[in-house]
Structure 1
Amino acid sequence: MLLFVEVLIALFIHDNFVRPYLGDVLVVIVLYTAIRIIIPVKYALLPLYLFIFAVGVEVLQYFKLVQVLGLQNNSFFRIILGSTFDWKDILCYGVGCAILGVYEWRVRYRR
């Protein structure tokens, strides 16, 4: 369901809040749920690892990886890898990972 929402945002929403901010918060949550489907064991540090991964992707955007690889005309890779570095994206990834961290903490210590 989250993946479906993320795809809808990417394809149809072209505003100044939902797509650039909420979409970036949701993308780390989508990645988290995908990893948890494959690895159902709870890892308290998974939100941190996802944040490091997301920041790594953003750093690759800073170094214009899409252009370096010659994929700037391929819309699939431009969407997946991104093409524009933005500090606000890192902040949004942090918010998403903080939400996941609170979730992990609540699930772990609820018992």
Structure 2
Amino acid sequence: MLKFNSTYFRLFSLIFTIEVLIALYVHDNFVRPYLGDVLVVILIYCFIKSFLKLKVIPTAIFVLLFAFTVEFLQYLNVVEKLGLQNSKIARTVIGTSFCWEDILSYIAGIFVVILVELFFRKK
């Protein structure tokens, strides 16, 4: 089950770099809020697959449920309840506001993961 996969790790590293660049330099109404959320579930998926040899669908579902949980914690204002409202890192990683569009972005990201995995499995 535990097995390093350099391809997934390279993808994780690339997407992580893109996410950091988006967080630092993009302040628009599409890329940062929507594309960033699509990419974040792909990022988490690639990170998990970098170290664990797991099946695609269960891993994708786990990542989606994890993303939903984080979004639900935003709904509960967990950053403020934990006293982390002044932490830029906590506010960025956990987020501060629930949004249904984020849920749709996470679903879109997992859909991309599954499509790409199916495409490369057929080759």
TM-score by length of 1: 0.92
Gaps in structure 1 of 5+ consecutive residues? none
Which residue among 41, 45, 57 is the counterpart of 2:70? 57
> Is 2:93 the counterpart of 1:80?
yes
Which residue among 57, 61, 77 is the counterpart of 1:48? 61
AA in 1 matched with 2:107: G
* Shift, 1:63, TM fit: 0.2
In 1, Cα distance between the equivalents of 2:16 and 2:42?
Answer: 9
Gaps in structure 2 of 5+ consecutive residues? 1-13
What's the counterpart of residue 15 of structure 2?
2
In structure 2, relative to structure 1, the CA distance for the partners of 1:65 and 1:55 (3 Å cut) is: same
TM-score by length of 2: 0.84
Identical pairs, percent: 45
Aligned partner of residue 57 in structure 2, secondary structure: coil
Aligned pairs, number: 110
Aligned partner of residue 19 in structure 2, secondary structure: helix
In 2, Cα distance between the equivalents of 1:63 and 1:41?
Answer: 31
